[in-house]
Structure 1
Amino acid sequence: MTGGFQGAMQVSLQPFKTQRSFSVRQLDRCFNWPTLNGKRNLIVSSPAIFTKPIRQIKASDQIQQHIRDHILENNLRPGDTIPSEVELASIFGVGRPTVREAMNALAGSGLVQISSGRKPRVSVVNAAAIGRIFEHGLAIQQLSALEVLEYRRIIETGCAKLAAERATPEQRLELVKLADNLKDAEGDLKAYSEADIDFHNSLANAAMNPLVRLTVQAVAGLALESSRTGLRALTNASEYSDISRIHMDIAKAIQSGDVEATGQAMEVHFDSALCRLKKLSPKPDA
């Protein structure tokens, strides 16, 4: 496999030689110049491309793209190997630090796994890599807690409806047990919020859709923090009981296979979460 990989890549990584001057004849072949009084109006009509600076693409970025292409074009699957750092450095004619930079970036995005003494392998797509993007967005205030909740509402309501249709008997029973766990954890902020996330992750599994599962689990870290934030707004034990009851309503609706009741219970759940979040949100200045 390495030989084919090398043959395909060596050509495509040759540096581009940019021609910096053009004859009128060359330009005529490329562009249909407008004329003014029978002459080319080059000042008025020169293409905007000539006003843009030429940018060099980093070698490590090129290597990343070629490895992505290699994975796709060769239908590689999770666990399949790609050439080692030493082999890639030879193939691309670059130093090992450049290859290492590319591989670390690919590993950070969840596309490959790298470990000492072993060839890199194609990764299983995992929620953690996606979740880091969401967490970064929240950390730099590109996303707000309200926006995360709205996103969860859209995704998880549909997810729950799928679970009502598709979940196995074992998964339906597990959701009821997890809803019971919430009741047992009432009053303990840490335990309750973790039980809440366990319930929602199990809900994602029961939807029987890998993309839905990844999406829900990707925001699990944000959801955990959001859950704890919302629970801090609770002032008495009865409010914990209300949330537990809502989760049990969801679990029972899924257990019975009632899609409509499941959707309604999820709407009640997120209405309740939204109210708690608004209690803690600073009011805008009058």
Structure 2
Amino acid sequence: MPPLKPLKKRPVARRKLSEIVFEQLIELIREEGYAPGDPLPTERELMETFGVGRPVVREALQRLEGMGMISIQHGERAKVRQLDMHALIQQLDVSARHLLSTSAESVDHLREARVFFETGLVRIVAERADADALERLRAALERMRTLSDAPRTEFIPADMAFHLEIARISGNPIYLAVAKAILEWMADYRRDMLRFKGTEVSIAEHERIFERVEQGDAEGAVRAMRDHLTAVGGG
């Protein structure tokens, strides 16, 4: 038997009490079947349950709030929130906006991701849209037409609503949440794009997208969306 080699030191990482309480709170919510709107036990009850002090409980609760799992109002017990894709993506909002405001390269990457994402979406919609879905998309387009001479602050939300309706028609809530985030993150930049392109050009591009979707022409819808998003200033 060969001689044993000396073992390398493997120090056990020390974990903060708040991390342990944080994990146990998640288990508590899951195991006890807390529903959105249900209040959690008071801080004092949680202190007694986990055998820790108030600062530890508060730090764990604040981490849960940061993840969007609970809401905390001063003077009230923490309450469980409805957790969905919108809430999850919203947690990235501040960081994403900071990154976009400080990095031109990140804006370019977001534009590229949007083209990839929305051309895929419009293909799905052209293949699946029924009469009700087409009517909603037509209404969004008509809203843009009525605002052709309106200030940009009014026109841009209508433009965004058209793209969000495409995501909604897909029937996938994850697609809708991602589309909403991308559009909101690009909103400031798109104001400058629309100032260059003009609302009439933007409306005409959206009309071509709608026509291709209405005819069930998936490839044509993809081309129309790609042309719209990659044209000079794509809006």
**Same topology, TM > 0.5:** yes
- Residue 209 of structure 1 and its aligned partner are, at CA, apart by 0.6
In the TM superposition, residue 203 of structure 1 has moved relative to its aligned partner by: 1.6
- Select the residue among 170, 173, 183 that pairs with 1:210: 173
How far apart are 1:169 and its partner, in Å?
2.4
In the superposition, the TM-score normalised over structure 1's length comes to 0.68
Question: 2:59 corresponds to which residue?
Answer: 101
Show CA shifts across 1:160-212 (max 9, x none).
22222334423321212212222333352222221111112222111101111
The equivalent of 2:226 in structure 1 is: 267
Query: What is aligned with 2:70?
Result: 112
Inter-CA distance 63–154: structure 2 relative to 1 (3 Å threshold)? farther
Distance 1:132 1:251 in 2: 33
Amino acid of the structure 2 residue aligned with 1:87 = E
- Look up the SS of the partner of 2:208 in the other structure: helix
In structure 2, runs of 5+ residues without a counterpart are none
1:194·1:224 contact (CA, 8 Å) conserved in 2? no
Q: Which has the higher contact order (CA 8 A, sep 6+)?
A: 2
Structure with max Cα Rg:
1
CA distance in 1, matches of 2:221, 2:35: 36
The 1:250–1:87 alpha-carbon spacing in structure 2 relative to 1, beyond 3 Å, is farther
CA 1:208–1:60: 2 relative to 1, 3 Å: same
Post-superposition shift, 1:240?
Answer: 2.6
Distance 1:91 1:215, change over 3 A: same
Contact 1:176 1:252 in 2 (8 A): no
Partner SS for 2:68: coil
Contact 2:37 2:80 in 1 (8 A): yes
Question: Could you list the runs of 5+ residues in structure 1 that have no partner in the other structure?
Answer: 1-34, 278-286
- Report the equivalent of 2:196: 233
Give the TM-score taking structure 2 as reference length: 0.81
Q: Which moved more, 1:223-232 or 1:260-269?
A: 223-232
User: Deviations for 1:206-265, whole angstroms, at most 9, x for unmatched residues?
Assistant: 11011111211223321322321322434xxxx432211111222232233332222222
The residue that corresponds to 2:233 in the other structure is 276
Change in Cα spacing, 1:177 to 1:76, as seen in structure 2 (3 Å) is same
State the shift of 1:117 in Å.
3.0
Residues 78-119 of structure 1 show CA distances to partners (whole Å, capped at 9, x for unaligned) of 445543433222211122332222222222222223345345
Percentage of identical aligned residues? 26
Give me the whole-angstrom Cα distance separating, in 1, the residues matched to 2:26 and 2:116.
Answer: 31
2:152 pairs with one of 189, 208, 211: 189
Equivalent residues in 2 for 1:34-183 (5 A)? Answer: 39-42=3-6, 46-47=7-8, 50=9, 54-72=12-30, 78-79=36-37, 82-115=40-73, 116-140=75-99, 141=102, 144-183=106-145
- Counterparts of 1:24-39 in structure 2, within 5 Å, are 39=3
Match of 2:49, SS state, is helix
**C-alpha contact 1:111 1:122 (8 A) present in aligned 2:** yes
- Give the whole-Å Cα distance in 2 for the aligned partners of 1:150 and 1:186: 27
Kindly tell me: are residues 223 and 170 of structure 1, through their superposed partners in 2, closer, same or farther at Cα, counting changes over 3 Å?
farther
